[in-house]
Amino acid sequence: MNDVANPLAALRSGASSAEAESFAEARVALAVRGATPPHVPMRRVLLTCSGLLVTEVAVMLATDQSLHDTLLPGYLILMVAFALVFCLGAVTVAGFPAGAAAAGLVALEVGNLLPLLAGAALLALVCGVAPGWARVEAWQAAHTKPLTSEQEAAVAQRGLNGDARRGWAPGVRLRNYWRADRVLAAFLVLAFPPSIMAFALWFVGWTATR
């Protein structure tokens, strides 16, 4: 059996770049086989956010704060909470309320746009290598692309050895997990709402002065 085709074997010395790439892909397939999507208790997240918002609004109103000062922390709470769920928990729909909360911050102060876009870019980069997103894509791939006979044998051997880790596979470089399309999609989800809000505010101001 070819050592390169066996994910449990060591890559032979002097292997070509094509063989090394095939070996890395086999390692990835072995590592993600049996992976399940991360489970995020969204009910708990929503209840926690609701409790924080109610407490924050009550405190701000009791201290006679303005509407602007009351809304600002609320938008921050929603944006941070749902952005973390989106980025680390790989919950796609959480990106939309995170973007909407960012748009609310822009509505309160247009100068918030550039810092928000920088934060969206940073979160998008994290999504590019986030284990949660890798597990989701691995689960999808496992249901659409069967393993080869050599990889199936490696999975069985790993089960006999009691190795049930779901982390990154040894011998696989970071670029094998990196997904540039995932980074772009995450940035668009997070950055589009505040960008549209900033444009809408600019357009309204522009038309008002004509």
Sequence spans of domains, the chain: 42-131+180-208
- pLDDT attached to residue 184: 92
- pLDDT attached to residue 170: 47
- pLDDT attached to residue 191: 95
Taking alpha carbons only, the member of 74, 75, 82 closest to residue 45 is: 82
C-alpha to C-alpha distance for 88 and 38, rounded to whole angstroms: 9
Cβ-based neighbours of 91, under 8 Å, separated by 6 or more? 40, 42, 85
Percentage, residues of the chain above pLDDT 90: 32
The whole-chain average pLDDT of the chain stands at 76
pTM: 0.67
- pLDDT attached to residue 132: 78
CA 79 vs CA 32, 99, 102: distances in Å: 31, 7, 6
**66-105 burial, b if ≥16 CB within 10 A, otherwise e?**
eeeebbbbbbebbbebbbbbbbbbbbeebbebbbbbbbbb
Taking alpha carbons only, the member of 78, 129, 130, 126 closest to residue 105 is: 78
Q: For residues 117 and 191, is the Cβ–Cβ distance under 8 A?
A: yes
Residues of the chain with pLDDT below 70 are 1-38, 139-177
- pLDDT attached to residue 33: 53
- pLDDT attached to residue 135: 74
CA 176 vs CA 25, 27, 31, 101, 171: distances in Å: 8, 10, 12, 33, 10
C-alpha to C-alpha distance for 192 and 195, rounded to whole angstroms: 5
C-alpha to C-alpha distance for 157 and 151, rounded to whole angstroms: 10
Q: For residues 82 and 94, is the Cβ–Cβ distance under 8 A?
A: yes
